[in-house]
Structure 1
Amino acid sequence: MASRNTVERLSPLEPVYQPGLHGQSEHGAGVTLCEAKQGSILQLTAWPGEEKRMIAAIRSVARLAVPDGAGGGIVKNGKAAFGIAPGKFTVTAEEEGLAEAFAASLKPAIGTVTDLSHGRTIIRISGEKAEWVLAKLFAIDFSLPAFPIGAGRSTVHHDIFAQIQRTDNDSFDIHVFRSFARAFWKLLCHSSEEVGYEVQ
């Protein structure tokens, strides 16, 4: 049973989330799709000139040595962080409460913390065909040299804004607005049909 202070977060994907093999999967699945249910999804924004202090705060609170600059990132021990713009970072963690930890640690002179946990959905795609499927949707070079592990990119597919982080050699987390999550999930499933996909 959930504690009194815990609010259970319902998935916007529930009506269309169908575990199992789909598409042309007679010889196995080219990709695996799932919802990455992170307990904390944050955006940290440093005031001008305070970027290095914000990076230090991320290292102190989340134990993540995120590189300076947009696009650089790190994935470690169930947590991840990446730069989405100058002085702006997305930080995620499996556990809840990271927003409160940052709010207690950050001084107002450094910047702000915005809890996006109830406003974002993270969809994970992995497998040997993950780069190929994503390249159908986004005008990004998804090859490992151009998009290394930990790195993140902010982009759009038509009107759907997405932040994508590479979490492993063949795995990507796609952050989308909760209100667009179901539509994007259906699009991703359709795009994966010809290589076969498994929903876990």
Structure 2
Amino acid sequence: MAEQVSPLGPAWMPGRHGRADGEAGVVLTETRPGSIVQAAAFPGSEKAIIAAIKKAAGLSLPDGAGGGIATDTKAAFGIAPGRFLVVDQSEGLADRLRAAIKPAEGAVTDLSHGRTAIRVSGPHAEWVLAKLFAIDLDPTAFPLGAGRATQHHDIQAHLHRTAPACFDLYVFRSLARSFWTMLCHAAEEVGYDVR
């Protein structure tokens, strides 16, 4: 397999940026998972899709909008009623999901080549993301495992809280460089490391 080329191009500059004193407020990383897949349930088939995700990805999703789960290598979360984003560090997830979902239950869309995955972590992750998205990021409103579909101006994003101070974001690949640049500007105030 050929190495995946980052859409961030020259905007990707590893190292410390922004405020230089003290520890960095956030760490920004492009994670490059092998599979990013949307599973959508047809009306009345939500439980069947949740069961198919468990079979294909080994992830037990909570039943309910916005819930999710993350491990070191996989993640799944609700992005809308009956719609889930499922991520795996390895390739082939779309085929496994298609095999687990009956045609009458739902549809699978492989988004792997159309999305870029960015991780924002650190003590000021919520602060930086709150500058960009008009959603409540407090852990009481956006708990561990939860996911949200949102946007900043015309850039749509899916956010997933994968740890207490860590969010994974999925944005359109064609807009990733623009979003990354905006994210870096938002993080300058607290200082950020690119890894």
TM-score normalized by the length of structure 1: 0.94
% identical aligned pairs: 59
1:157 paired to 2:156: no
Q: CA–CA distance in 2 between the matches of 1:77 and 1:133?
A: 23
Displacement after TM superposition at 1:105 (Å): 2.2
Q: CA–CA distance in 1 between the matches of 2:48 and 2:100?
A: 12
Runs of 4+ in 1 over 2 A off after TM superposition: 6-9
Matched residue, 1:27: 22
Deviations 1:57-109 (A, max 9, x none): 11111111111222111112411101111111000011111111112222111
- Select 1:45's aligned residue among 31, 40, 46: 40
Checking the alignment, whether the CA contact within 8 Å between 1:9 and 1:118 is kept in structure 2 is no
1:131 paired to 2:126: yes
Checking the alignment, whether the CA contact within 8 Å between 1:69 and 1:85 is kept in structure 2 is no
Q: How does 1:69-148 map to 2 (within 5 A)?
A: 69-148=64-143
Please list every run of 5 or more consecutive structure 1 residues that lacks an aligned counterpart in the other structure. 1-5
1:176 paired to 2:171: yes
Aligned residues: 195
Displacement after TM superposition at 1:7 (Å): 4.5
- Select 1:191's aligned residue among 157, 178, 186: 186
Deviations 1:133-177 (A, max 9, x none): 111111111111111111001111001101100010100011100
Q: State the Cα RMSD in Å.
A: 1.0
1:60 paired to 2:40: no
Displacement after TM superposition at 1:14 (Å): 2.4
TM-score normalized by the length of structure 2: 0.97
Please list every run of 5 or more consecutive structure 2 residues that lacks an aligned counterpart in the other structure. none
Q: CA–CA distance in 1 between the matches of 2:89 and 2:8?
A: 19
SS at match of 2:189: helix
